[in-house]
Amino acid sequence: MSARILTTEAPAPGITAEPVPAKPLLQVRALHKSFGGVNVLRGVDLTVNPGEVSFVIGPSGGGKSTLIRCINFLETPNAGEITFDGRLLCREEGNVFKMEPERVLRAARSEMPMVFQHFNLFSHRTVLENVIEGPVMVKRWPRDEAIAHAEKLLAEVGLADKADRYPDELSGGQKQRVAIARALAMRPKLILFDEPTSALDPELVSGILDTIRALAEQGMTLIIVSHEMGFARRLADVVHFIADGTIVESGPPARIFDNPDNPRLATFIRSILH
């Protein structure tokens, strides 16, 4: 952390204050993850500031899902450091990789829920039960409060009339909106999206993109893995290109899409835009 972030002193009279950079909400350093000897993440560094919308793009198999699953410990990293909301969740000590106890990781995970490509709803539970599950079981909030909040969120995503339905009675777009309401029900600080529209019929994609855009406009911090490049270009504050387990290039969407430095990124952009 730079000294500047810690500075709290008022500037001397006559000296213009430099803007104090926001403290990152999430800081990932030198993150490594392998599966059966295959190095999938090979030293990923990523900083996400509060209120920022970050897109992660890159070729299939490049480690996008693994990265965001490691960020909230759905996968266990092998090495590196993750700091979330001021808490150091895993770190290197000497050569030993240490993680905080499961209860700490679970609490952190509940503040950065994930929205999956295939929704991952409980099929034997109603829409309302899906949305209150986390608040009641993980956060231990009173059930009636959780229900009132869930009903409000379902209304916000346009599903007020579906609370008592089961996931199989809904379209893919409706299921994904339930999944977004479920994430919001945790009162998250960050939402991770893993290709939230990839499993949807084309006519249902724009409804989900509109829902995500509304979250961004409300100031929610988002990390979005997506192949929707037009959407990324319009919504992203920063785009990260990941390939072969490292972030090869990061930058504002205009530069990443129109003026990429890295030849692999340039090839990737050409391949998806044409």
State in angstroms the smallest separation of the CB of 195 from ligand ADP.
Answer: 8
Pairwise CA distance, residues 246 & 215, whole Å: 28
Residue with tokens 């490594």: 32
Length of the chain as a residue count: 274
Task: Enumerate helices (H) and strands (E) in the chain, giving the number of each.
Answer: 10, 11
Using CB under 6 A as the binding criterion, the count of chain residues that bind ligand ADP stands at 10
Selected binder of Mg ion within 27, 54, 65, 221 (CB under 5 A): 65
Asked if residue 197 binds Mg ion (CB under 5 A), the reply is no
Residue 108 · residue 72 · CB < 8 Å: yes
CB atoms within 10 A of CB 62: 23
Q: Which is nearer to ligand ADP, 211 or 226 (CB)?
A: 226
Applying the rule CB under 6 A, the residues between 26 and 45 that interact with ligand ADP are 35, 40
Strand partners, 26: 48, 84
State in angstroms the smallest separation of the CB of 155 from Mg ion.
Answer: 31
State in angstroms the smallest separation of the CB of 59 from Mg ion.
Answer: 10
Using the contact rule CB under 5 A, the part of the chain among 64-72, 87-95, 215-223, 259-267 near Mg ion is 64-72
Contacts of 34 (CB under 8 A, 6+ apart): 40, 41, 78
State in angstroms the smallest separation of the CB of 64 from Mg ion.
Answer: 5
Q: Which is nearer to ligand ADP, 61 or 142 (CB)?
A: 61
The pairing of beta strand 96-99 with beta strand 87-93: antiparallel
- Note the residues at the interface with Mg ion (CB under 5 A): 64-65
- Note the residues at the interface with ligand ADP (CB under 6 A): 35, 40, 58, 60-66
